[in-house]
């Protein structure tokens, strides 16, 4: 039961942290040596510390070695920290040029478009849009709506997904919170193609929504419990999640939903972690598809879903 979805930890940056990401590639430090590429790639792909991964992404871009492109493109979509993803987007905009192999350039462009459309961070969306503009030579710099959803025109629906939280007390709480955000966003995109999760220029104001006759909603959730029961060679992971639904941007709550699931796997630590992800994913998907979207549709006269 559940969906195989990799974890993402989306951390809200302070302005200071954002500035670090945006100017580090411009000012920066000592020149990296060519023999550092493999080490930096390994750090970007595998280090558990987001500050180490951020430094690796920045230094790979400064190094200017095209061998770093595929790793940056992968981390752009897979890294758990928004600062790292943003740095990867900036780096791709610097490293991918007209001389880049067409197949690699095409992959990078596709990943950047995915980041613009689906990343939960406005910072990442903006940097990916700028990188696209640099690589393709087209206009950029303004985040547009997901092409799979309606734009923010008259009668539309805008959904803002919150950061999620956890009371489970698990060592993987942060990863599971990020997973909840990602699964909520991807499920909403899949089942409600006419609902937008992005807005030109960032997050809309109440006046901006009203000006375009768009109904705004806010969705957030909490992982309340996550338990593991071992019997012989089998571990049963049980999770319970609650989600709230409110208007946006005022966040006056009008819906509160609960869901739970159980999955089974081996008793290995790795399988238990994957089982927890599957359990949480299954509940979020079910609540978004069967409860959240239908409830939103009853609250608006816009075309739905």
For 157-298, CATH number out of 3.40.50.300, 1.10.10.10, 3.40.1010.10, 3.40.50.10610 equals 3.40.50.10610
Q: Do the domains at 15-136 and 157-298 have one common CATH topology?
A: no
CATH number of the domain at 15-136, please?
A: 1.25.10.10
Mean pLDDT of 64-86: 91
Rounded Cα distance between 122 and 46, Å, is 25
Rounded Cα distance between 112 and 92, Å, is 9
Whether pLDDT at 210 is above 50:
yes
247-283 pLDDT per residue, tens: 999 998 988 889 999 888 888 988 889 989 999 999 9
pLDDT score for 287: 94
Provide the 8-state DSSP code for 34: G
2-12 pLDDT per residue, tens: 333 333 323 32
Q: Give 62's pLDDT tier (boundaries 50, 70, 90).
A: confident
pTM here is 0.51
Whether pLDDT at 175 is above 60:
yes
Rounded Cα distance between 179 and 290, Å, is 19
Q: Give 155's pLDDT tier (boundaries 50, 70, 90).
A: low
Whether pLDDT at 64 is above 70:
yes
CA dihedral angle for residue 168, residue 51, residue 48, residue 107, rounded to 10 degrees: 110
pLDDT score for 35: 58
Would you list the domain boundaries of the chain?
Answer: 15-136, 157-298
- The CA-CA-CA angle for residues 44, 50, 51, to 5°, reads 95
Percent of the chain residues topping a pLDDT of 90: 45
21-52 pLDDT per residue, tens: 333 333 333 343 445 788 899 999 999 998 88
pLDDT score for 303: 67
């Amino acid at each position: 039961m559940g969906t195989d979805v990799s974890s993402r930890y989306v951390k809200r940056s302070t302005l200071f942290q954002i500035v670090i990401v945006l100017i580090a590639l411009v000012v920066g430090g000592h020149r990296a040596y060519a023999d550092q590429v493999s080490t930096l790639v390994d750090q970007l792909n595998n280090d558990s510390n987001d500050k180490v991964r951020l430094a690796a992404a920045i230094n790979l871009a400064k190094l200017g070695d095209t061998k770093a492109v595929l790793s940056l493109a992968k981390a752009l979509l897979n890294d758990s920290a928004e600062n790292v993803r943003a740095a990867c987007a900036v780096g791709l905009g610097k490293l991918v040029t007209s001389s880049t192999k067409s197949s690699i350039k095409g992959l990078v462009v596709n990943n950047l478009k995915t980041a613009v459309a689906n990343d939960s961070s406005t910072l990442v969306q903006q940097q990916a849009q700028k990188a696209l503009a640099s690589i393709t030579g087209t206009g950029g710099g303004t985040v547009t709506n997901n092409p799979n959803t309606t734009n923010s025109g008259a009668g539309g629906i805008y959904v803002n997904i919150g950061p999620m939280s956890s009371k489970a007390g698990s060592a993987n709480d942060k990863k599971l919170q990020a997973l909840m955000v990602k699964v909520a966003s991807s499920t909403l995109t899949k089942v409600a193609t006419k609902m937008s999760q992005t807005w030109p220029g960032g997050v809309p104001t109440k006046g901006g929504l009203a000006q375009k006759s768009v109904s705004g909603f806010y969705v957030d959730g909490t992982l309340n419990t996550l338990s593991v029961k071992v019997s012989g060679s089998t571990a049963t992971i049980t999770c319970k999640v609650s989600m709230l639904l409110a208007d946006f941007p005022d966040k006056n709550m009008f819906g509160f939903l609960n869901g739970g699931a159980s999955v089974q796997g081996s008793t290995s630590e790795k399988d238990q972690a994957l089982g927890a992800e599957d359990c949480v994913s299954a509940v979020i998907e079910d609540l978004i598809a069967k409860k959240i979207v239908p409830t939103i549709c009853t609250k608006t006269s816009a075309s739905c879903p």
